[in-house]
């Protein structure tokens, strides 16, 4: 193999492209000649060839175009980006009839194919839904522009000012199931945060998604172009998209645990989401028992199918003697919850054994186990949980603090239901998802999860020169501070003679925040 690779490198250096591919597939060479990406390409400009090839393919071309359009979008002024959201809101209302007709056909077909009632209810755009969506777009238009915010400002040296500013991630791939209103919410978040977007919705909602997508991209300004938001219609294109880790920056699957796990398994692009939500409530010996019952019931029964519902109840062993354990069990059983026991609890309470401690029922069922104390509870959570949301119920402030400090989960609660773990309830505005990853964003994620930062440095000719070029000051500056070199910044928004007129919109848009 080494000899082959060396030969390929020599040829490539001389400008002759070489593909090395497996001899075991009969059609390997034919497929290469048809322009398919088979084997390994050797050429000094291979990274560019790759982009060119990519641009020739459907879904992949979409990703590249979305990035280009997003770069234009982030160059617009805050005012212009706000106007896009308002235009989209107006377009939705103006096309309500058209949207509802397509949605009715989707619902009709779904009923014919005997899809479950629950799915049909999620699929249907109920009366008033379109104007609700338009309303939420107008709310989003009026929030502070998330892009271009200065989060840190430092004077490096006299006249050399460093700023860390927020900017879009780039291109998002969002895969969602069933609910067509999700398309509008996601698209509006992407526009607000300046990101390009590829959307893949559920098959059942194909017509609704198509018309919503059309209405939205038609409302985008020409300078940005409809390519900002691509609608992927075939499931077959997903594997190709998941390979584009140099063009797509973040994948957000919104759907079943299975969907999230499958996507995490099959891509190197960072995935924002949670594969499972095995949430625990630990009832301490010092718990207020009425409160414990209230929290445990809410955590399990308020919405048993969601990720922030309780799946395991851990009870301090002291509550066996006081009768507290029995009260909790009775409350759950009365509410219709099927109980399964860990080793200790199944013996003691004659419960059927739980399949595994790492089990998400997603229904009116849960696991119960007895623990010696808060530390055993913490160990249990670390060993069997999914680091999503875990809760302690206790009146003992010290024990609560041990739990809050040591449980290594995205959300850790004291005396409050696990169901609160949600972007809207946390006051984050629109929720992008809940992340159990530890990188980038964790727990419920709002629009800030769609942003990254850039470092902007403005100087007056400073050089490093072996670190003798300047005298470092490293002074933190207030975020509303601007140094002399930038005092004319407002003028920048007034247009620029250097920029060809066809690009004037963009040049005007550079409203670096002050």
Q: How far is the CB of 30 from its own copies (least distance, A)?
A: 25
Comparing CB distances to its own copies, the nearer of 98 and 152 is 152
CA distance 149 to 155: 17
Is the CB of 182 or the CB of 402 nearer to its own copies?
402
Residues 378, 367: contact at Cβ < 8 Å? no
Q: Between 210 and 470, whose beta carbon lies closer to its own copies? A: 470
Which among 231, 237, 192, 234 has a CA at the least distance from the CA of 209?
Answer: 231
Looking at the Cβ atoms of 157 and 233, the one nearer to its own copies is 157
Instruction: Judge whether 21 and 28 are in contact, CB under 8 Å.
Output: yes
Q: From the CB of 308, what's the least distance to its own copies, in Å?
A: 9
Q: How far is the CB of 460 from its own copies (least distance, A)?
A: 6
Q: How far is the CB of 310 from its own copies (least distance, A)?
A: 12
CB of residue 480 to its own copies, shortest distance in Å: 18
Concatenate the DSSP letters of all residues of 6-28 into one string.
HHHHHHHHTT--EEE--SSSTTH
> How many CA within 13 A on the CB side of residue 289?
15
Q: Which phi and psi (to 5°) does residue 151 adopt? A: -100, -10
Q: What SS3 class is residue 151?
A: strand
SS3 235: coil
Region of 134 (left: φ > 0; alpha: ψ -120 to 50; beta: rest) is: alpha
Closest approach of its own copies to the CB of residue 453, in Å: 6
Gap between the Cα atoms of 328 and 219, Å rounded: 55
User: Please, which residues have CB within 8 angstroms of residue 462's CB and are 6 or more apart in sequence?
Assistant: 157, 159, 160, 469, 470
Residues 125 and 103: beta-carbon distance below 8 Å = yes
- Quote the DSSP letter at residue 271: B
DSSP per-residue string spanning 136-190: HHHHHHTSPP-TT-EEEEEEEETTEEEEEEEEE-SEEEEEE-S-THHHHHHHHHH
Q: Which residues partner with 163 through β-bridges?
A: 153, 456
The CB-of-75 to its own copies minimum distance in angstroms stands at 5
Residue nearer to its own copies on the CB measure, 123 or 434: 434
Q: How far is the CB of 195 from its own copies (least distance, A)?
A: 11
Q: Which is nearer to its own copies, 1 or 491 (CB)?
A: 491
Question: Which CB sits closer to its own copies, 181 or 204?
Answer: 181
Distance of alpha carbon 377 from alpha carbon 405, whole angstroms: 13
**Nearest alpha-carbon partner for 314 in 380, 396, 410, 389:** 380
- With contact defined as beta carbons under 8 Å apart, do 411 and 403 qualify? no
Closer Cβ to its own copies, 234 or 514, answer by number: 514
CB neighbours (10 Å) of residue 140?
22
**Count of CA atoms in the C-beta half-sphere (13 A) of 156:** 17
**Neighbour-count burial of 222, counting CB atoms closer than 10 A to its CB (0-12 exposed, 13-18 middle, 19+ buried):** exposed
DSSP 3-state of 33: helix
If 0-12 CB within 10 Å is exposed, 13-18 middle and 19+ buried, where does residue 483 land?
middle
CB of 341 to its own copies, least distance (A): 15
| Shorter beta-carbon distance to its own copies: residue 39 or 459 | 459
Structure tokens that stand for 173 in this block: 């791939």
Name the residue nearer to its own copies (CB basis): 127 or 461.
Answer: 461
Find the shortest distance in angstroms from Cβ 109 to its own copies: 27
Q: Which of 452, 16, 9 is nearest to 195 (CA)?
A: 452
Q: Which is nearer to its own copies, 102 or 505 (CB)?
A: 505
Closer CB to its own copies, residue 236 or residue 484?
Answer: 484
Distance CA 266, CA 231 (A): 21
């Amino acid at each position: 193999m080494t000899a082959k690779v060396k030969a390929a490198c020599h040829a490539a250096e001389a400008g002759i492209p070489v593909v090395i591919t497996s001899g075991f597939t009969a059609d390997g060479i034919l497929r290469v000649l048809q322009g398919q990406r088979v084997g390994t390409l050797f050429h000094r400009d291979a990274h560019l060839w790759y982009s060119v090839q990519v641009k020739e393919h459907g879904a992949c071309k979409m990703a590249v175009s979305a990035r280009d359009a997003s770069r234009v979008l982030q160059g617009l002024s805050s005012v212009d980006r706000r106007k896009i959201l308002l235009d989209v809101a107006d377009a939705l209302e103006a096309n309500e009839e058209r949207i509802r007709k397509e949605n009715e056909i989707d619902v009709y077909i779904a009923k014919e194919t005997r899809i479950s009632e629950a799915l049909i209810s999620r699929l249907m755009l109920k009366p008033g839904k379109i104007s609700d969506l338009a309303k939420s777009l107008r709310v989003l238009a009026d929030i502070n522009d998330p892009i271009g915010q200065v989060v840190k400002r430092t004077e490096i040296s006299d006249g050399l000012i460093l700023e860390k500013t927020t900017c879009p991630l780039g291109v998002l791939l969002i895969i969602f199931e069933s609910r067509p209103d999700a398309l509008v919410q996601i698209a509006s978040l992407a526009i607000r945060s300046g990101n390009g977007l590829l959307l893949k919705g559920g098959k059942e909602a194909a017509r609704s998604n198509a018309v919503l997508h059309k209405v939205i991209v038609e409302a985008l300004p020409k300078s940005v172009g409809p390519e900002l938001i691509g609608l992927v219609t075939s499931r077959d294109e997903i594997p190709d998209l998941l390979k584009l880790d140099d063009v797509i920056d973040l994948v957000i699957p919104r759907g079943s645990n299975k969907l999230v796990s499958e996507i995490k398994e099959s891509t190197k692009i960072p995935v924002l989401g949670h594969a499972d939500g095995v949430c625990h409530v630990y009832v301490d010996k010092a718990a207020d028992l009425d409160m414990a019952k209230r929290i445990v019931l809410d955590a399990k029964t308020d919405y048993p199918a969601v990720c922030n519902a309780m799946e395991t109840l851990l009870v301090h062993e002291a509550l066996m003697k006081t009768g507290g354990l029995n009260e909790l069990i009775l409350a759950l059983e009365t509410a219709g919850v099927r109980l399964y026991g860990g080793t200790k609890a199944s013996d003691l309470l004659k419960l059927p054994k739980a399949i595994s401690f790492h089990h998400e029922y997603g229904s009116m069922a849960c696991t119960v186990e007895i623990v010696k104390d808060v530390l055993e509870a913490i160990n249990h959570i670390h060993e069997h949980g999914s680091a999503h949301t875990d809760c302690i119920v206790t009146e003992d402030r010290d024990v609560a603090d041990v739990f809050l400090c040591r449980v290594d989960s995205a959300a850790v609660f004291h005396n409050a239901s696990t169901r609160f773990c949600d972007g809207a309830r946390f006051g984050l505005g629109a929720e992008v998802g809940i992340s159990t990853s530890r990188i980038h964003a964790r727990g419920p994620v709002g629009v800030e999860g769609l942003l990254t930062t850039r470092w902007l440095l403005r100087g007056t000719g400073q050089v490093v020169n072996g670190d003798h070029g300047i005298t470092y000051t490293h002074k933190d500056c207030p975020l509303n501070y601007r140094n002399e070199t930038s005092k004319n910044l407002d003028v920048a928004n007034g247009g620029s003679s250097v920029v060809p007129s066809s690009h004037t919109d963009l040049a005007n848009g550079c409203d670096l925040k002050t």
